[in-house]
C-alpha cells in the first residue's frame, strides 16, 4: 500500500486546547481520540438507529447537487440534534469542540453558531466522495478571508481506510488554490496518494479540520456501514447550511453553553411552527413531501409578518423550490421570506 500522509492525534481527555489549536493552524486538521465516552457513543447510536435504518440512501433530494455529493450509498439524515438529545447536549456542545471554536472562529465574529449537524452513514459500496473544501458553500466571501468554519466528522463506529474513513489533505488549508473559485479548485490536478491521510480512528473520536482543508468521505469496500456525524460551526454573520432556526428543537435552544464556552450561541431561533415539519423531514426536503411543507408554511405565514425585515436572498435553491411549490412563481411572496 502506498505511504500516506498522517494526522496528528490527541487524547481528548487530556488535550490542551491551545496546543490542539496550534496544530490545527499548522496542519489544518487533527484527530481527537476519545472525544466521546463509549457510553455516549452507545446512547447516540441507540437514539439514531431507527431513523438511520429507515433512511433511504437513494432518496431524491430537492437539491440534486447534494445527492450527487453524498452518492447513492450514503444515508444522510439532517438535524441530528432533533433526533438524538444526547447528540444535542453532549456532542454538539462538547466543551473541547467549543474551546477550539473560541480560538478559531471567535476572533472574527461576536458569536459563532452551529452550521450543521447531520448523520452520514456511508454504506457498503459507497464510492470516494469528491475532494472539497467545506467553505466552498460561502464562495462569495472575498479572499483572503478569516477562517469561516470549523468542521468535524465524528465516528460512531470504528473508522478505517476500508470502510470509508474521511480522507484529508493535511496542509491544504495553506495552498494558494484556496483563494480560487470552487470551479477553479476542482479543475486542479488530483493530489498524489502520499498527500492523502485517512482518519482511521476508534468510535467516539473526531477528525477536526478547517473550512479550507481539502477532504472527503472515503470509499466503503466492507460490509460495515460507516456511521459518522458531520458537525460544523461557522462565523455568526454567515448564513448556515442547515436552517437551525427551524432544525434545533426549542428545548435545546436556550441551553446554556458549558462553562468556558460562554461565547457560543449555537442557535438563535425561537419556536417556529414549521420547525416540526423540518426536523422530521430534513433540511434538504424531498419534493414529494411538498403538501406537508405547504401546510406547515401556510400556518407559519400567519406568524411571519412580525419578521418581515429579515429577508433571505431570493437566489437560494430552497427558496426557489418553496416558491414553485407555493405558487408556480420564482418569486417568494415577501411575507414568506423570513421563514426560509
Give, as one character, the DSSP assignment of residue 199. Answer: -
Closest distance between ligand AKG and the C-beta of residue 216, in Å? 6
Look-up of cell digits 438507529? 49
166 binds, among Fe ion, ligand AKG, none (CB under 5 to 8 A by kind): ligand AKG
Residues 166-185 touching ligand AKG, rule: CB under 6 A, are: 166
Closest distance between ligand AKG and the C-beta of residue 120, in Å? 4
- Work out which of 71, 170, 204, 217 binds ligand AKG, going by CB under 6 A: 217
Does the protein bind ligand AKG through residue 215 (CB under 6 A)? yes
Does the protein bind ligand AKG through residue 225 (CB under 6 A)? no
Closest distance between ligand AKG and the C-beta of residue 149, in Å? 11
The whole-angstrom separation of Cα 309 and Cα 335 is 10
Radius of gyration of the chain (CA): 19
Per CB under 6 A, the segment of 5-13, 138-146, 179-187, 215-223 that binds ligand AKG is: 215-223
Length of the chain: 340
- Work out which of 71, 117, 225, 228 binds ligand AKG, going by CB under 6 A: 228
228 binds, among ligand AKG, Fe ion, none (CB under 5 to 8 A by kind): ligand AKG
Backbone angles phi and psi of 104, in degrees to 5: -90, -40
Q: Is 174 left (phi over 0), alpha (psi -120 to 50) or beta?
A: alpha
Does the protein bind Fe ion through residue 134 (CB under 5 A)? yes
Per CB under 6 A, the segment of 11-19, 40-48, 212-220, 318-326 that binds ligand AKG is: 212-220
Q: Going residue by residue from 102 to 131, which x/- string records binding to ligand AKG, judged by CB under 6 A?
A: ------------------x-----------
Closest distance between ligand AKG and the C-beta of residue 47, in Å? 20
Q: Going residue by residue from 18 to 57, which x/- string records binding to Fe ion, judged by CB under 5 A?
A: ----------------------------------------
Q: Going residue by residue from 142 to 161, which x/- string records binding to ligand AKG, judged by CB under 6 A?
A: -----------x--------
Instruction: Considering the complex, state which of residue 70 and residue 275 has its C-beta at the smaller distance from ligand AKG.
Output: 70
Per CB under 6 A, the segment of 27-35, 214-222, 264-272, 304-312 that binds ligand AKG is: 214-222
Instruction: Considering the complex, state which of residue 227 and residue 337 has its C-beta at the smaller distance from ligand AKG.
Output: 227
- Work out which of 67, 75, 173, 230 binds ligand AKG, going by CB under 6 A: 230
Per CB under 5 A, the segment of 132-140, 142-150, 261-269, 308-316 that binds Fe ion is: 132-140
Contacting residues toward Fe ion, per CB under 5 A: 134
Amino acid at each position: 500500500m502506498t505511504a500516506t500522509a498522517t494526522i496528528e492525534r490527541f487524547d481528548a481527555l487530556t488535550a490542551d486546547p491551545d496546543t490542539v489549536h496550534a496544530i490545527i493552524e499548522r496542519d489544518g486538521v487533527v484527530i481527537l481520540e476519545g472525544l466521546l465516552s463509549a457510553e455516549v457513543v452507545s446512547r447516540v447510536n441507540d437514539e439514531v438507529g431507527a431513523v438511520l435504518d429507515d433512511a433511504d440512501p437513494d432518496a431524491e433530494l430537492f437539491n440534486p447537487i447534494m445527492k450527487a455529493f453524498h452518492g447513492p450509498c450514503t444515508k444522510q439524515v439532517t438535524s441530528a440534534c432533533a433526533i438524538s438529545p444526547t447528540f444535542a447536549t453532549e456532542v454538539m456542545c462538547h466543551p473541547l469542540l467549543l474551546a477550539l471554536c473560541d480560538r478559531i472562529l471567535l476572533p472574527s465574529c461576536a458569536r459563532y453558531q452551529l452550521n450543521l449537524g447531520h448523520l452520514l452513514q456511508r454504506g457498503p459500496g459507497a464510492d470516494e466522495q469528491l475532494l472539497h473544501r467545506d467553505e466552498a458553500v460561502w464562495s462569495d466571501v472575498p479572499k483572503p478571508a478569516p477562517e469561516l468554519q470549523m468542521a468535524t466528522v465524528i465516528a460512531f463506529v470504528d473508522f478505517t481506510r476500508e470502510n470509508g474513513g474521511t480522507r484529508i489533505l493535511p496542509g491544504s488549508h495553506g495552498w494558494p488554490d484556496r483563494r480560487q473559485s470552487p470551479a477553479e479548485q476542482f479543475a486542479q490536478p488530483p493530489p498524489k496518494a502520499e498527500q492523502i491521510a485517512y482518519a482511521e480512528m476508534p468510535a467516539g473520536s473526531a477528525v477536526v479540520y478547517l473550512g479550507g482543508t481539502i477532504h472527503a468521505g472515503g470509499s466503503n469496500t466492507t460490509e460495515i456501514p460507516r456511521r459518522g456525524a458531520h458537525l460544523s460551526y461557522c462565523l455568526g454573520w454567515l448564513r448556515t447550511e442547515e436552517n437551525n432556526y427551524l432544525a434545533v428543537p426549542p428545548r435545546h435552544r436556550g441551553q446554556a453553553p458549558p462553562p468556558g464556552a460562554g461565547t457560543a450561541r449555537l442557535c438563535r431561533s425561537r419556536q417556529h411552527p414549521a420547525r416540526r415539519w423540518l426536523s422530521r423531514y430534513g433540511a434538504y426536503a424531498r419534493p414529494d413531501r411538498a403538501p406537508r411543507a405547504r401546510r406547515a408554511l401556510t400556518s407559519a405565514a400567519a406568524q411571519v409578518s412580525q419578521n418581515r425585515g429579515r429577508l433571505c436572498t431570493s437566489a437560494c435553491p430552497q427558496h426557489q423550490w418553496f416558491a414553485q411549490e407555493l405558487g408556480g412563481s420564482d418569486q417568494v411572496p415577501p411575507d414568506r421570506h423570513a421563514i426560509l
